[in-house]
Structure 1
Amino acid sequence: MSAAVPSPPPGEFDLIARCFHRHRAPRPGVPLGPGDDCALLAPRPGMQLAVSTDMLVEGRHFLSTVAPEALGHKALAVNLSDLAACGATPLACTLAIAMPRGDADWLGRFADGLYALADRHGIALAGGDMTAGPLNLSLTVIGEVPTGQALLRHGARPGDTLWVSGRLGDARLALEGFRGTVRLPGEVFDRVRLAMERPEPRVALGQALRGVASAALDLSDGLLGDVRHLLARSAEALGRPQPLGLRLDADALPRSAELAAQPLALQRLCTLAGGDDYELAFTAPAGAEAAVREAAAQAGVSVTPVGRIEDETGLRCVDAAGRPVAADYLAFDHFRG
């Protein structure tokens, strides 16, 4: 009797068909999805397309031990956060993935996490590519926003209030727990780890802030570093050679009970420069507080005023008593570490 011939491992197209053809049927705004050389999009009249790309690299953006479902969630969430910062409605996304081997079980669980979040936000996976190589995930998201109503980084003006959504710092606290620089009880670590591995993109808040916020961006590389982009871009729009200024109240920054229980120096690091928060930072005129809070209530997201845009350039960070707080943290940079 001859020995049974083992089945070959699944190939590229087998894996794609098995894991990523759940959105092949036409969906609103996406008449043709995966399976052809190109997807077809059909934005509604009066809409502009908002497009953003983010890449996640193993060892750089995520740990090798992360569950594939959580990684699928985060890969899409960080891109949806960019659409949120523009006030856009998600429409479609593409996924390019390199992986060391064709592991159908791992890829299926990754797809489960991605599709669970995609279905919550009505975004279709419209296509992509797959190849062999070190684990690397690159997503491009496409959204739509009414013409002329996109939230941008360059609309802040002196006197505007700076707001942030949600809470800051838990993702960095979880990272410090992984690094062993801080000891966190198991249940505390599990709670803050969710912020690191399963961030919630503030899509509904971004949409609700259209016509209310004067400028916005999402927080991916740390508050101090990210808000500097807003100050610089807003100054450029005003024709000024130097960035606008900001007075930031470090003690007003919203944080969890888990982070508030840590030493103050660690709290400062996590809230001011932690990164991976994927909350929105946005400005609005001082008289728009009621409208901001109404938008937040509509989206079901907490918001907190944390500073004021100033005419004089410079970022001044103070505590609740008005005393200076060191603000010399650098934003995350892929080539600095």
Structure 2
Amino acid sequence: MGEFDLIARYFKRPAKRSPLGVGDDCALLAPAPGMQLAVSSDMLVEGRHFLSTVDPLRLGHKALAVNLSDLAACGAKPLAFTLALALPSVDEAWLEGFSRGLLALADAHECELVGGDTTRGPLNICITVFGEVPTGQALLRSGAKPGDDIWVSGTLGDARMALEMFRGKLTLPPGLAQLARDRMEMPTPRVALGLALRGIATAALDLSDGLAGDLRHVLEASGVGATLDADAAAACMAASRHSEFAALALSADARRALVLSGGDDYELAFCAPTSARARVEQAGHATGTAVTRIGSIDVQPGLRWVDANGQALTQQQFLSFDHFG
């Protein structure tokens, strides 16, 4: 099967929003009047971002989900995406599963595949996603204000638990192993919540490398500091509410490390005024997304961690993933 046969069989679809889709030299996109384009790219490399044994359907889902998560953090509605795919060989079973997972999530968010590239090489997936947001209403990292609450969506730390299992550092019972693996391989992009937070949140970003490191980007961009309740964040781990979790006998420090230094969560961390607490909770309820308040923005620069009793915790254990660290 040649390159263009591969594209035609697994990725070419009738264009809906763009007048030019897969098969032309360019896709043409125009946001609606009064809208700005939001654009983001992510790359997934075999052995670095995913295991060679991962189900290709799940990999297709995740490849797009991590990009949609960026749009969610910006409060942008998905429009379209491009796919650049390097393959060591043409494996039709792999391509069928990958394209099915990818396009199912795309359809769920009405996000159209409008172009890209394929080539031979080590397995590498690069997606660029396009969204739209009303002019001046995008959620940015630079808007946090002293006194704002800090919130997170959904659950944290479960994907890191799966990674520790794959590394052989943690043995998980079957039910818990599946829960953790699902969170690692099938993240849920919080697009609906991001849209609901427009006009409420003052700053936002998605959590890809771990809460401890990712949140610092908001603090630096906004010129503020923060105090976070590490135990409130640790309570967000879905695994901790699983019936098999008690058998692990993890210490409080181990649970905190999974959540704060984890990564691959693809949840949202965002800030909002204390006066907006009811509106934030309503946004979570309306979109079926759990939201948890875990701290506050301070005038004093830096990130400070406390436990449930307000006692300071050392930060050395709370380091996020860094590709070149």
Alignment TM-score, normalising by the size of structure 1: 0.92
Q: Of 289, 297, 315, which residue of structure 1 is paired with 2:277?
A: 289
2:232 to 252, 256, 277: 252
User: Does the alignment pair 1:332 with 2:312?
Assistant: no
Secondary structure of the corresponding residue to residue 301 of structure 1: coil
User: 1:260 offset after TM fit, Å?
Assistant: 6.0
Contact 1:156 1:230 in 2 (8 A): yes
Farther off after superposition, 168-177 or 249-258: 249-258
2:255 pairs, out of 246, 254, 267, with: 267
Contact 1:30/1:91 (8 A) holds in 2:
no
- 1:26 paired residue number: 15
Offset of 1:48 from its aligned partner? 0.2
In 1: Cα distance, 2:119 partner to 2:15 partner: 26
Output one character per residue of 1:5-31: Cα deviation in whole Å (capped at 9) or x when no partner: xxxxx111111111001x3x231x322
The within-5 A match list for 1:292-311 is 292-311=280-299
1:14 aligns with 2:2: no
CA distance in 2, matches of 1:285, 1:69: 40
What residue ranges of structure 2 are gaps of 5+ in the alignment? none
* Equivalent position to 1:49, from 24, 37, 42: 37
Which residue of the other structure, out of 226, 229, 237, is the alignment partner of 2:217?
229
One-letter code aligned to 2:15: P
CA distance in 1, matches of 2:251, 2:168: 15
2:176 touches 2:245 (CA, 8 Å); kept in 1?
A: no
Counterpart contact for 1:85–1:151, Cα < 8 Å: yes
How far apart in 1 are the matches of 2:301 and 2:113? 43
Distance 2:123 2:202 in 1: 38
Measured in 1, the distance between the counterparts of 2:150 and 2:269 equals: 7
Secondary structure of the corresponding residue to residue 55 of structure 1: strand
Check conservation: 2:84, 2:126, Cα contact below 8 A: yes
Secondary structure at the counterpart of residue 228 of structure 1: helix
Structure 2 equivalent of residue 172 of structure 1 = 160
1:195-234 residue CA offsets vs partner (Å, 9 max, x unmatched): 0000000000000000000000000000010000000000
2:187 to 199, 211, 223: 199
Which string of whole-angstrom CA distances, capped at 9 and with x for unpartnered residues, describes residues 65-100 of structure 1? 100000000000000000000000000000001010
Residue 103 of structure 1: how far off its partner (Å): 1.2
Kept after mapping to 2: 8 A contact 1:169/1:271: yes
Superposition deviation, residue 316 in structure 1? 1.1
Mapped to 2, the partners of 1:260 and 1:147 lie a distance apart of: 46
The residue type equivalent to 2:158 in the other structure is D
Counterpart code for 1:245: G
Contact 1:30 1:39 in 2 (8 A): yes
| 1:129 paired to 2:117 | yes
Q: Is the 8 A contact 1:246 1:308 kept in 2?
A: yes
Equivalent pairs counted in the alignment come to 316
Q: Which has the larger radius of gyration?
A: 1
What letter corresponds to residue 114 of structure 1 in structure 2? L
Alignment of 1:125-164 (within 5 A): 125-164=113-152
SS of the residue aligned with 1:38?
coil
State TM-score, norm by structure 2: 0.95
The one of 55, 64, 69 equivalent to 1:81 is 69
Distance 1:233 1:222 in 2: 17
User: Kindly, what percent of the aligned residue pairs are identical?
Assistant: 62
Q: Distance in 2 between matches of 1:101 and 1:290?
A: 53
> Is the CA contact (8 Å cut-off) linking 1:32 and 1:126 kept in structure 2?
yes
Whichever residue aligns with residue 213 of structure 2, its letter is G
